[in-house]
Structure 1
Amino acid sequence: MATIAELKCAIRETLESRGVLGQLKARIRAEVFDALDAQREQRPPLSHENLIINELIREYLEFNKYRHTASVLTAESGQPQVPLDRQFLASELRVSEDKSSKSVPLLYGLVSHFLVSSDEGRKLFLRGTTHPGGHLS
């Protein structure tokens, strides 16, 4: 007959092998963030710019199977549970895609563009928003 310690170990191993333990831990973390945030002052409304940035990050996290991190990002940021449509994101960023670029997150394409861009070594001039809740221009 198995001891309680052996039973706990077997259950833990089974949950880990099925990926359930990681999901439970991520869900608990998300709930802790929600509980802590509920006690703090309210976050400002999610700006359009932050919505886009968070969605780019979420798409990257989910592509790389960082689902637990993505669930915490969603809970902590106030990002909608349902991901934004990729075509909408591409349109908002004024990005055109080919068939191969659609197989990876948009963030990969954006970074790749700047890594291989040959603008004769010139640096890109970035403009900030007028305030933290600003919009992409």
Structure 2
Amino acid sequence: MPSEALRETLESRGVLGQLKARIRAEVFSALDDQREPRPPLSHENLIINELIREYLEFNKYRYTASVLTAESGQPEVPLDRQFLANELKVTEDPSSKSVPLLYGLVSHFVNSSNKGGKVFLRGAAAINTPGTDA
């Protein structure tokens, strides 16, 4: 089988993208300097990373999720979804539980009946994140 036909077959099966992602993840893992300590994972970053991980895994971006977990120091075991919803003060209906919480949060703001109003967001200095004085 010529190499171009092989590449097309692997692409059509979705294998080529997975292989490339796996290679990137392995390269990152090999290059990641374990001797350099990571900053402590703040509560806010823990929640944000978990929302992103849930989104990535839902969309089958598993290698990207594995790199996020490794690089961020996020626990290997995902946080409980109900815990996340409680932390974000989110109430879900049965249909919203079939998609990542991030979808519901974005949908809430995009479809808000308060079209003219703005949401006031606190700056990073107001959140206790590594590298800030808060």
1:38 and 2:33 matched:
yes
Q: Which runs of 5+ in 1 are unaligned?
A: 1-5
Aligned CA distance change for structure 1 residues 132 and 70 (closer, same or farther; 3 Å): same
After superposition, residues 125-136 of structure 1 pair within 5 angstroms as 125-128=120-123, 129-133=126-130
Match of 1:117 among 112, 122, 125: 112
Match of 2:101 among 97, 103, 106: 106
Amino-acid identity (%): 81
Aligned CA distance change for structure 1 residues 90 and 17 (closer, same or farther; 3 Å): same
Structure number with greater Rg is: 1
1:70 and 2:62 matched:
no
Residues in 1 aligned to 2:105 and 2:48: alpha-carbon distance in whole angstroms: 12
Residues in 1 aligned to 2:83 and 2:128: alpha-carbon distance in whole angstroms: 24
Q: CA RMSD in A?
A: 2.8
In structure 2, the residue matched to 1:47 is 42
Q: Does the CA contact (< 8 Å) of 2:25 and 2:64 recur in 1?
A: no
Q: Counterpart of 1:70 in 2: which secondary structure?
A: helix
Residues in 1 aligned to 2:36 and 2:110: alpha-carbon distance in whole angstroms: 40
Could you tell me the TM-score, scaled by structure 1's length?
Answer: 0.74
1:83 and 2:90 matched:
no
> More displaced, 92-101 or 66-75?
66-75
Aligned residues: 129
* Structure 1 counterpart of 2:129, one-letter code: P
